[in-house]
Amino acid sequence: MAKYTFTSGEKEQVKQAVKDLEKVSCGEIVPYFVNSSDDYSEATWYSSASLGAISTIVMGLLSYTWMLPFHLTPLEVSIVILISLIIGFLVPVVLPQSRRLIISRDKQEQRVRQRAAEAFLTEKVYQTEEKVGILIFVSQLEHQVLVIGDEGINEKVKPGDWEEVVNLIIEGIKSGQTSVGLIKAINQCKDLLLANGFVRKSTDFNELDDDLRIED
């Protein structure tokens, strides 16, 4: 699975978009990209068990209906099942993107929310003086984008207001212009903040680093 990559120029453009937001707004924004929100180690066992069960059922049906083109001894059947189990175990290892098809959508969403919450804490988005931090969290494997505002912002900006921000990022990723979509999303955050009265004051200062965070 190809990882998110940004050129040095793109990183600088994103950083400048964050700076532009903070020149006019008291909000602090942290864009954060991860390759995956979890290793989903259980996917290997799910895949292995599923392929092994399918092989067993198929061979049983073919044998029962006399459709096997050749006779298999119990040892040979055991070997086929064992090979199926091994192949099933290796599929998520060799093809990490297959984990998105193996793990339930609900579990993926839960892991992404947990990972985003960790990023919110580790990046200290919650530590701004007026509680006006915003985390833009993008998890590649799960194809999910979350925008989380601190309590100061959430008093005025509703969860539904972030949908356009999310959509702009998704459109950028789908078109192969991730940095462009992210910059548009940051500009949309700026418009939302200003529309809800989060205007920069003379006493405001830069509380969080403006760089784009990219984690493997």
Whole-number pLDDT of residue 134: 94
**Domains of the chain (ranges, CATH numbers):** 8-38+104-215 (3.10.310.50), 42-102 (no CATH)
Res. 3 pLDDT band, cuts 50 70 90:
low
Q: Is 144 helix (H, G, I), strand (E, B) or coil?
A: strand
Contacts of residue 14, defined as CB under 8 A and 6 or more positions apart, other chains included, come to 6, 31, 179, 182, 183, 186, 212
Mean residue pLDDT across the chain? 88
Neighbours of 164 (CB within 10 A): 15
Neighbours of 140 (CB within 10 A): 19
pLDDT in tens, 83-134: 888 888 888 888 888 888 888 999 999 999 999 999 999 999 998 988 999 9
pLDDT in tens, 151-198: 999 889 888 889 999 999 999 999 999 999 999 999 999 999 999 999
Residue 148 to residue 170: CA distance in whole angstroms: 16
Q: In this model, does residue 46 exceed pLDDT 90?
A: no
Average pLDDT over residues 70-77: 73
Whole-number pLDDT of residue 76: 74
Distances (CA, A) of 206 to 13, 91, 132, 199: 18, 46, 12, 14
Q: pTM for the full model?
A: 0.84
Average pLDDT over residues 3-15: 88
| Helix axes of 74-94 and 42-64: crossing angle, nearest 10 degrees | 150
Q: Which of 67-71, 73-77, 94-98, 143-147 has the lowest mean pLDDT?
A: 67-71
Average pLDDT over residues 22-42: 92
Whole-number pLDDT of residue 205: 86
> pLDDT exceeding 90 applies to what percent of the chain?
53
Whole-number pLDDT of residue 2: 55
